[in-house]
Structure 1
Amino acid sequence: MSSATQSLQPLLDNVRRAWRTSPLPRFFQWWGDELVNLMPSRLRQAFGGGAAWFLLERQGEEWQVRRAGQEGIVANWRDDLEPAAQQVAFSDALRGVDPEDLRVALCLTPAAMLRRALFLPIAARDSLQQIGAFEMDRQTPFRAEQVRYDVREVAGNAPAGRFAAELVAVPRHTLDPMLDRLRELGITIDAVDMACGDDRLGVNLLPPEQASRRSHPRQRLNTMLAVAAVVLVGLCLLQYLHNREAALAQMQTQVDGMRGEAQKVASLRQQLQDNAGAAGFLTDRKLHTVSALSLLDDVTQRLPDDAWLERLSMDNAGQVGLQGQAKQSAKLVDVFKSSPTVADINFQGTIQTDPTTGKERFYLVGQLRKPGDGKSKGAPAHPGSTR
């Protein structure tokens, strides 16, 4: 045993002791029995219904075979027959039983057994054989090396911190000759027990070195099937995760596409709002600004025939500039007082006479009216032809 195993042994012993003292083993035993009982009998037989125990007893000079839990003798033969004949009789009694499930127990009579009741500490559950050897001198007239013994836990009331157990022993001079005879006959047994009605008591006095070694192909198959089931479950979980990831990736792609479409819609909405704002601005500007055509028409109607314009300007602030020549420029301010398009018109700079034409050169500055603010208060002072 390695040092690592030795260091872990106390921990393993504590875990094993805690497991055995817990109600879980009894629960799982009950649960497994209930599940097995729910299965049809054919399935139980096909997949292994557990060990099939046969009880081998020596009655005088005759051997008898019974099935555990059932009445009646399956086979019997005399011990003075040839070993081959006894083997045939024994094999005929076990015919039809799966070799993997077959278990044979040599059952002794109660008179040949020695039984003692014990109350042992809870901590002794994992070392019953050692406790049995220790208690042998105290409970029986034999020493441990003179008997074959076993200790089993039994149901019963016990003091606090202890559990009920039973020591079962048989002298070696009684059991060993029977084991030697069975080896001569070629009959392999799995346990040495005591007959208890139609069944066995539940102990095993067979020495460990004489225990039969059986192959367990079904157990290996069940182990392989269990491993395959675990692998399949793992693969199913991985497939489930893969499907979830694929669905998530697909949903993410759809969300990204929808997000792009939403951004396009938001961009179109913003563009529509901008266009609507620009259109509203133009509409508002058109509603609250005098058009250049109206201004030109009004100025043309109001200028006298002996005056003309050299330049007409209008900026974004609504300021209007009139530059030209007239015979009497001072009267032009009065001409535009009633203008529906221009207000607050005044001269800017000085009035000078043009030496070429002999007329006065003027420059008038005014402010455009908003539509509806100013209305014509009469006909133009000097109506004339359109220029």
Structure 2
Amino acid sequence: MAMNKLQRWLAPYRTAYRNSALHRFLAWWGAELARLLPVAWRDWFIERRDAVQVMATADGWSVTRLGSLPMATESVATDAGAEVLRALAERMLQAGEIKADLVALLDAAQVLERRLPLPAAAEENLAQVIAFELDRQTPFRADQVRYDFRIGARDAIARQIQVDMMLVPRPLAEQTLAPLTAAGLALDALDAVAADGARRGFNLLPAEARAERANAGARLNWILVAVGLGLLWLVMRQSIVAREQALTDLQQAVDKVQVEAAHTTELKRKLTDAVDGANFLAGRKKQHPVAVNILRELTQLLPKNTALVRLSVNR
């Protein structure tokens, strides 16, 4: 129940995304990237799906498989029972190695198609605009029909878009789906057949009524997530390594400056000691007479017949 509510809540956003320019760009970009891959890699990354089409006929049901295998069609009578229809559909679904979607087809006369010219600005809220246009251009309200739409053309100069829409009355859709639901078949799409027998390319099933399939791009998404996380780790690792290297270089520069500062301080201390020593000697010389000067002075003062046996100078 909660999942159905979530599906209904997400349905308008999925429709808006499917018709958005971002979806078209990503689809184109993905296709271009896929072409660059080898075929074996392409098949591994991108899941291809066939189609098993179920269509009501005058006397029963026609079941056809299209895609990788040669087209195969088998019929089931109306009175054959739901189990026979289910067994045939499941056998068709499991016929090949490539998985297939189960699609119910309506006759072209059972659906109504319109091309709606709309302003380009309507694309932002296209689902709401289409629901409003249903009341204006068809005899039905949005809650009376199953409908789907897609952007068929764009006119950038005129700023207009051409929206292709297909609808079927709900009672007719339920009448077609009831036997298939009773047979226990999970449908991927409800579409209409074109004049050439191919699908029209719409899906009239609401999102909550579609079969729950494994996400075809899950494997690629997980790989992209792993690659993204790996790149993120690499960038973070490179950033950490760069910071560690910067800290190491800074520490080496600081150590070098500290060594030079210590050497400069030692030289300054030695210079200060030398200056202090020189100043001390000079001061001592100024404070006390030199012994030579004292002897010269005594020689001049003493008579020539006088001899000096011992001289003591106290400082």
The answer to whether the superposition gives a TM-score over 0.5 is: yes
**CA displacement at 1:148 relative to structure 2:** 3.2
**CA displacement at 1:182 relative to structure 2:** 1.7
**Equivalent residue pairs, number:** 297
Name the CA distance, whole Å, in 2 between partners of 1:65 and 1:249: 70
Is 1:29 paired with 2:27? yes
Q: 1:262 to 1:158 in 2, by over 3 A?
A: closer
Task: Give the partner amino acid of 1:257.
Answer: D
Q: 1:302 to 1:138 in 2, by over 3 A?
A: closer
**CA displacement at 1:226 relative to structure 2:** 6.5
Given that 1:53 and 1:67 are in contact with CA atoms closer than 8 Å, whether structure 2 keeps it comes out as: yes
1:325-336 matches, cutoff 5 A: none
**Counterpart for residue 329 of structure 1:** none
> If each structure's helix is expressed as a fraction of its own residues, which one has the higher value?
2
Larger Rg: 1
Match of 1:247 among 237, 245, 248: 245
**Counterpart for residue 343 of structure 1:** none
Name the CA distance, whole Å, in 1 between partners of 2:70 and 2:217: 31
Q: Which residues of structure 1 form unaligned runs of 5+?
A: 1-12, 286-290, 316-387
Name the CA distance, whole Å, in 2 between partners of 1:131 and 1:194: 23
SS in 1 for 2:65: strand
Given that 2:93 and 2:102 are in contact with CA atoms closer than 8 Å, whether structure 1 keeps it comes out as: no
**Counterpart for residue 194 of structure 1:** 192
Superposed CA deviations along residues 100-157 of structure 1, whole A, max 9, x for unmatched, are: xx43222334344322221124454355555445444553455656643333221144
Q: 1:157 to 1:112 in 2, by over 3 A?
A: farther
Superposed CA deviations along residues 272-317 of structure 1, whole A, max 9, x for unmatched, are: 54466578879999xxxxx9354355445544325689999899xx
Q: 1:166 to 1:280 in 2, by over 3 A?
A: same
**CA displacement at 1:165 relative to structure 2:** 1.1
Q: 1:158 to 1:228 in 2, by over 3 A?
A: closer
Given that 1:56 and 1:66 are in contact with CA atoms closer than 8 Å, whether structure 2 keeps it comes out as: no
SS in 1 for 2:187: coil
**CA displacement at 1:164 relative to structure 2:** 1.3
**Counterpart for residue 259 of structure 2:** 261
Given that 1:71 and 1:198 are in contact with CA atoms closer than 8 Å, whether structure 2 keeps it comes out as: no
Superposed CA deviations along residues 318-357 of structure 1, whole A, max 9, x for unmatched, are: xxxxxxxxxxxxxxxxxxxxxxxxxxxxxxxxxxxxxxxx
**Counterpart for residue 101 of structure 2:** 103
SS in 1 for 2:27: helix
Q: 1:282 to 1:141 in 2, by over 3 A?
A: closer
SS in 2 for 1:200: coil
Superposed CA deviations along residues 1-51 of structure 1, whole A, max 9, x for unmatched, are: xxxxxxxxxxxx9xx98x899854433332222233333444444444265
**Counterpart for residue 150 of structure 2:** 152
**Counterpart for residue 181 of structure 1:** 179
Task: Give the partner amino acid of 1:64.
Answer: V
Name the CA distance, whole Å, in 2 between partners of 1:133 and 1:108: 22
**Counterpart for residue 92 of structure 1:** 91
Name the CA distance, whole Å, in 2 between partners of 1:107 and 1:64: 10
Given that 1:116 and 1:166 are in contact with CA atoms closer than 8 Å, whether structure 2 keeps it comes out as: yes
Given that 1:75 and 1:89 are in contact with CA atoms closer than 8 Å, whether structure 2 keeps it comes out as: no
Superposed CA deviations along residues 339-386 of structure 1, whole A, max 9, x for unmatched, are: xxxxxxxxxxxxxxxxxxxxxxxxxxxxxxxxxxxxxxxxxxxxxxxx
Name the CA distance, whole Å, in 1 between partners of 2:182 and 2:25: 43
Is 1:114 paired with 2:102? no
SS in 1 for 2:178: helix
Task: Give the partner amino acid of 1:74.
Answer: A
Q: Percent identity?
A: 25
Given that 1:154 and 1:164 are in contact with CA atoms closer than 8 Å, whether structure 2 keeps it comes out as: yes
Q: 1:314 to 1:198 in 2, by over 3 A?
A: farther
Q: TM-score, structure 2 length as denominator?
A: 0.67
**Counterpart for residue 64 of structure 1:** 63
Is 1:49 paired with 2:47? yes
Name the CA distance, whole Å, in 1 between partners of 2:69 and 2:225: 41
Name the CA distance, whole Å, in 1 between partners of 2:267 and 2:38: 72
Which structure is richer in relative contact order (CA contacts within 8 A, separation 6 or more)? Answer: 2
